[in-house]
Amino acid sequence: MPRLAPRPQVRPPVDPAEAAVFARPDGITTAFDPRTQTASSARVELPTAPPPSALIEAFGRPAGGGAGLQRPPGARDVRPGSSDRAEPVFWSTEGSVWRDPSSTAVLGPPAVAAEDAQPAGDASTLPEGSRLSAREVLFGGRVKPRALLLLGAFALVIGLVGGLIGRLAVEGGSLLSGPEVRLAEVRPGIEREPGSVAELAGRVRPAVVSVQDTVGNMGSGVVIDEGGYLVTNDHVIAESADDPESSLTVIFHEGSRAVAEIVGRDPSTDLAVLRVDVDNLTVLPMGSSADLQVGDSVLAVGNPLGLSGTVTEGIVSYLDRPMRLDATDGSEVVFGAIQTDAAINSGNSGGALVDSSGTLIGINTLNRTPPMAGQGQSGSIGLGFAIPVDDVRRISEELIRNGEIHHPDLGVNSNSVITDDLSGAQVVNVRAGSSADQAGLAEGDIIIRVGDREIFGAEELAAAIREQQIGAVVELEAVRGAEVLVIPVTLQSDEDS
């Protein structure tokens, strides 16, 4: 294959100004070598501005230093035409810690002063140098020992004060609040088992209300029906019922209020039924007082002394305790009460007595307190009495249906008697035409039994008759002189008396 002729290279023209700055001097064809320059070599002076005086003073040659190039000590100017004389020495290797600039780079021992040099030999023979103190390590020896001690003492005081403040803050105290205060430790919420007193109280309290009239009398009541019916004691609402200008207000557990109307009253049993026009009421279910036993746990809920929502705990301490109180219509009220040691005070009247399942077993009615000289009566001493719920249910239903209720009546007045041989209710008089008159009871007879119930006094006789039904035939056992008689009696209504 024929070889192509090389294309001639065409060089671009050179700018004269650039050529003046970067071109080789005239007559020089190789790399620039000042040592081989001839005296006749032309020098190209570049156009430069004079340097500032500050730079001349800092970097200029010393006075008398000449204008030649800086050379190592002992070097001579070998340029053509130069004199064979040593130029001024700019530095010296004698006694210097620096290596000779003209020597090659080699590794050697550290550059130390001659007086610090140690003789060669085993390192173990060398004397041990002085050790640095903590002050020299931390502060470079610039802090005096006294200042260092003061600084440590100051840091210790700050630490003690900070620790004291931290302890007070943790324990709830304060340097500015006076005596130390210890707050109770916050713990997780208590888990209450079903049937606990707290759980029962939480279910019962919303169904127990406060009953108040415009005169200022206050008692309690219990919601027994979703239709807005409440049961309370008759003596709680008697004054308002007899005053046409007075009204009754029911205050619920959460604080809401409603005007109540009287549905029916039964002064002979000290019960009354009210009604409020309120929806979504919490109703307290009724239990059975016939199933109670002495020792059963009970809660009394009401508004004693105006303290709403109060709960007291106790047990059933006696059953069918005959209790007598004055009725609001002037008659006497006698009922076989549930006796409890749960605290019952003024204002508890009409409130709830519930069992361990949270069901209503009685309506709290009164307490028994000993008189105190010159001060009336004291507070509760652990003897409270409630109307059994079996009586409450029967009477409330009748009052809701008819607005009134009637009870069986024997038709006698009696006194309690106790002799060496017996105790019972002695007949003082017999009302003409009454059940007792028709049965043949006479004054002076001592009644010792009604049906299966033993009679130990006049209160027990009245309570036993009240538990019967109108028209029922019951057998009375009575002592007349030395003779014991069994007398059947057909009970009439107290409406006929």
For 371-395, the pLDDT digits (tens) are: 654 455 556 677 899 999 999 999 9
Going by C-alpha positions, the residue among 487, 462, 447 that lies closest to residue 320 is 462
Going by C-alpha positions, the residue among 188, 194, 390, 384 that lies closest to residue 304 is 384
Contact 305, 346 (CB under 8 A): yes
Contact 386, 363 (CB under 8 A): yes
Q: How far apart are CA 48 and CA 34, in angstroms?
A: 21
Q: Phi and psi dihedrals of 205, rounded to 5? A: -55, -40
pLDDT at res. 374: 45
Q: How far apart are CA 471 and CA 485, in angstroms?
A: 22
Choosing from 240, 349, 414, 435, which is the catalytic residue? 349
Q: Residue 165 — pLDDT band, cuts 50, 70, 90?
A: confident
Whether the predicted pLDDT of 493 surpasses 70: yes
Q: How far apart are CA 486 and CA 476, in angstroms?
A: 6
349 is catalytic: yes
Contact 317, 337 (CB under 8 A): no
Q: How far apart are CA 279 and CA 484, in angstroms?
A: 58
pLDDT at res. 39: 47
Q: How far apart are CA 433 and CA 369, in angstroms?
A: 40
> What is the percentage of the chain residues whose pLDDT exceeds 90?
43
Going by C-alpha positions, the residue among 406, 401, 411, 402 that lies closest to residue 493 is 406
Going by C-alpha positions, the residue among 181, 182, 160, 246 that lies closest to residue 211 is 246
Assign residue 246 a region (left: φ > 0; alpha: ψ between -120 and 50; beta: otherwise): beta
Q: Phi and psi dihedrals of 275, rounded to 5? A: -140, 140
437 is catalytic: no
Roughly how many angstroms between the first and final C-alpha of the chain, as a whole number? 159
77 is catalytic: no
pLDDT at res. 72: 58
**208 vs 134: which has the higher pLDDT:** 208
pLDDT at res. 90: 53
Q: How far apart are CA 223 and CA 241, in angstroms?
A: 20
Question: Which pLDDT tens digit goes with each residue over 328-376?
Answer: 666 677 888 999 999 999 899 999 999 999 999 999 998 877 665 445 5
Q: Residue 323 — pLDDT band, cuts 50, 70, 90?
A: confident
Choosing from 213, 234, 266, 270, which is the catalytic residue? 270
Q: Residue 124 — pLDDT band, cuts 50, 70, 90?
A: low
Q: Mark 82-119 as b/e (b = at least 16 C-beta within 10 Å).
A: eeeeebeeeeebeeeeeeeeeeeeeeeeeeeeeeeeee
Choosing from 235, 266, 289, 308, which is the catalytic residue? 235
